[in-house]
């Protein structure tokens, strides 16, 4: 038997380790990225102030955690996003159901929805700043607005993708119109609703950071823009890294488990 | 099925269905004139070439489509929409993918407001009937096509409908499974005696299952053939049976001439 090459044994060890600790699989791909970053920073090609290395960012992370600014800003951003998403879902799912279920509502509302969807989040900021000023009103509006459309459009799509036969089956088993909506249409549309939520959260998160930069008095977006004013590239980089990590956490701790428990479990989505 | 000794007939009188085809720009006649009487506890197969209106007729009995003229009555009550008195088994199974097998079967009783424990007991009883007790907690997508349609049949039966409407229910399962399902259906029918209207394009299937085979052609009843074959029926007994063969040949002639 031929000896197994060392790199293959290494690979096999990696596969086994990541199977035991899945979190490891998310970290390992970043190792070469961080190493490259450190090498470029250490090489002195760019002035250190413009291009700090990983160690400076970690130190800055420690400092901002210690003085409480990062936790506070992080909380502000996450709470804004969560509240905006909750309102966006509370409005978006019923509108999506209506548009998906009623042909008349679809004819009336669809062009309007597409029109306003095109006026992206940031495009609203100038007029919102005049209406609501630099405050929570503007920020909330932008997030709700951004989250709303993907949820409405995907919910309507999901409602319309529920096979006619499932409506009929439920009705001939004695379900009333309202029961059909609750027992058939909503669960049938759920995989699409989750897709809408995923898109909405992604757009909403970006819109929030942009809004915080322009409107903000706190939050990760504000942290980054404030750091720019102070000329602190370290803190800007830290903000960017926090954004990426936070999204990864939302995806793997919130969205992916919902998807596994619904569409994938029921065989409605092929992975 | 049902309670008491009330006769729960299915009566179809001068049924017609025309609809406007916007692409062709003309009226299309799907059903010209159908009159049919199905006695309680009877098993009627409906066969005919494609386009003869058999599925349209079933959809109208189920209440999914309104009649253009004529009337359908179940137990004396005119049909005006879908309802639990007419159970439907679909070709595509139409199981709820987000419900377990048990909860699919318990769906009808749930809509009637039967409490959870009782409706689960009902569902288990019917799953037992179809030899599906072991699959109660699985999801439909984890089952084979044949198993899924067994669930489809008992889900309709568990709601104790006056009439069971079956629309080519075994058309999308493989040939071996289909024979097994047909034998199981005759067994369940003998045990429970539901009133069944069974739509199919398969002549042998129609004769094997039914007490009567109705042949449709161009939207009307072409023939109504009684099937006096003894029960219980199995393919093993009937495949070489002269009576079965001559009846099948007779119905096939009618369908092909239609």
- Domain residue spans of chain B: 10-85+162-257, 95-160
- If one compares A45 and A94, the residue with the highest pLDDT of the two is A94
pLDDT of residue B35: 94
Chain A contact set for B81 (CB, 8 A): 171
Categorize the per-residue pLDDT at B5 as very low, low, confident or very high, splitting at 50, 70 and 90: very low
Q: Please give, rounded to a whole number of angstroms, the shortest distance from the CA of B70 to a CA of chain A.
A: 21
The yes-or-no verdict on residue B3 having pLDDT over 50 is: no
Which one, of A75, A174, A179, lies nearest residue B109 by Cα?
Answer: A174
Average pLDDT, chain A: 89
Which residue of chain A comes nearest to B157, CA vs CA?
Answer: A173
pLDDT at B106 over 80: yes
The third-level CATH classification (topology) of the domain covering A57-265 is MetI-like fold (1.10.3720)
Chain A residues whose CB is inside 8 A of the B140 CB are: 267
Determine the residue among B87, B98, B140, B168 to mutate to test chain A binding: the one whose Cβ has the most chain A Cβ atoms within 10 Å: B98
- Among chain B residues, CA nearest to A263: B98
Residue B93 Rama label (left phi>0; alpha psi -120 to 50; beta) = left
Most confident stretch, A23-27, A40-44, A253-257, B138-142: B138-142
Q: Flag the least confident range among A28-32, A194-198, B253-257.
A: A28-32
Give the dihedral sign, CA B123/B125/B127/B130: negative
Enumerate the H helices of B106-221 as residue ranges. Answer: 107-111, 116-129, 145-157, 175-192, 203-209
Share of chain A above pLDDT 90, in %: 44
The average confidence (pLDDT) of chain B is 92
What confidence category does residue A17 fall into, taking pLDDT thresholds of 50, 70 and 90? confident
The structure's pTM equals: 0.84
- pLDDT interval class at A1 (50, 70, 90): low
Enclosing H/E stretch for B35: strand B26-38
Average pLDDT of the residues in A49-77: 91
Q: Where are the domains of chain A?
A: 57-265
Half-sphere exposure of B231 (CA within 13 A, CB side): 18
CA angle (A80 as vertex; A77, A85 as ends), nearest 5: 125
> How close B225 gets to chain A, by Cα (Å)?
29
- Bridge partner list, B72: B12
Q: How far is A167 from chain B (nearest CA, A)?
A: 9
Q: How far apart are CA A263 and CA A198, in angstroms?
A: 14
Whether the CB-CB separation of B82 and A171 falls below 8 Å is answered with yes
The enclosing H or E element of B222 equals strand B220-226
Contact criterion met (CB < 8 Å) for B92 and A169: no
d(CA B29, CA A174) in angstroms, rounded, equals: 30
Contact (CB<8Å) B94/A262: no
What CATH class does B10-85+162-257 carry? Answer: alpha beta
Model confidence band, residue A73 (pLDDT cutoffs 50, 70, 90) = very high
pLDDT score of B66: 94
CA atoms within 13 A of residue A59's CA, in its CB half-sphere: 6
For residue B10, what are the β-bridge partners?
B38, B74
């Amino acid at each position: 038997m031929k000896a197994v090459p060392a790199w293959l044994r290494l690979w096999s060890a990696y596969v086994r380790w990541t199977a035991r600790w899945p979190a490891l699989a998310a970290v390992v791909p970043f190792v070469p990225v961080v190493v490259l970053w450190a090498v470029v920073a250490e090489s002195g090609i760019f002035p250190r102030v413009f291009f700090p290395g990983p160690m400076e960012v970690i130190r800055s992370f420690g400092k901002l955690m210690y003085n409480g600014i990062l936790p506070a800003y992080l909380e502000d951003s996450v709470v804004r996003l969560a509240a905006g998403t909750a309102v966006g879902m509370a409005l978006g799912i019923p509108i999506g159901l209506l548009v998906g279920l009623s042909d008349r509502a679809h004819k009336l509302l669809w062009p309007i929805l597409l029109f306003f969807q095109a006026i992206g989040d940031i495009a609203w900021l100038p007029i919102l700043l005049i209406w609501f000023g630099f405050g929570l009103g503007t920020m909330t509006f932008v997030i709700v607005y951004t989250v709303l459309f993907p949820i409405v459009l995907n919910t309507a799509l999901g409602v319309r993708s529920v096979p006619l036969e499932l409506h009929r089956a439920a009705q001939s088993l004695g379900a009333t119109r309202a029961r059909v909506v609750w027992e058939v249409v909503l669960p049938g549309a759920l995989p699409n609703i989750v897709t809408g939520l995923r898109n909405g959260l992604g757009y909403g998160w970006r819109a929030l950071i942009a809004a915080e930069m322009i409107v903000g008095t706190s939050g990760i977006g504000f942290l980054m823009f404030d750091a720019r004013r102070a000329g602190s590239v370290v803190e800007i980089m830290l903000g960017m890294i926090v954004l990426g990590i936070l999204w990864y956490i939302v995806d793997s701790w919130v969205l992916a488990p919902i998807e596994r428990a619904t569409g994938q479990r029921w065989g409605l989505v092929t992975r | 099925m049902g309670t008491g000794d009330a006769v729960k007939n299915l009566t179809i009188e001068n049924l017609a269905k025309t609809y406007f085809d916007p692409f062709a720009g003309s009226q299309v006649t799907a059903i010209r004139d159908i009159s049919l009487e199905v006695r309680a506890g009877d098993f009627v197969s409906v066969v005919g070439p494609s386009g003869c209106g058999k599925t349209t007729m079933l959809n109208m009995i189920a209440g999914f489509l309104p009649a253009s003229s004529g009337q359908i009555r179940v137990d004396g009550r005119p049909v005006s929409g879908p309802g639990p008195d007419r159970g439907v088994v679909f070709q595509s199974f139409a199981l709820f993918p987000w419900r377990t097998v048990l909860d699919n079967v318990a769906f009808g009783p749930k809509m009637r407001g039967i409490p959870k424990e009782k409706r689960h007991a009902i569902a288990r009883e019917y799953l037992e009937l179809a030899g599906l007790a072991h699959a109660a907690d699985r999801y439909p997508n984890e089952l084979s096509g044949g198993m899924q349609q067994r669930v489809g049949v008992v889900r309709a039966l568990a709601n104790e409908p006056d009439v069971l409407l079956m629309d080519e229910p075994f058309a999308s399962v493989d040939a071996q499974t289909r024979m097994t399902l047909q034998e199981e259906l005759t067994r369940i029918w003998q045990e429970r005696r539901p009133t069944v209207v069974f739509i199919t394009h398969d002549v042998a299937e129609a004769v094997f299952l039914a007490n009567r085979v109705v042949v449709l052609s161009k939207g009307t009843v072409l023939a109504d053939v009684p099937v006096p074959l003894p029960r219980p029926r199995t393919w093993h007994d009937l495949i070489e049976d002269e009576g079965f063969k001559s009846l099948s040949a007779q119905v096939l002639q009618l369908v092909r001439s239609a």
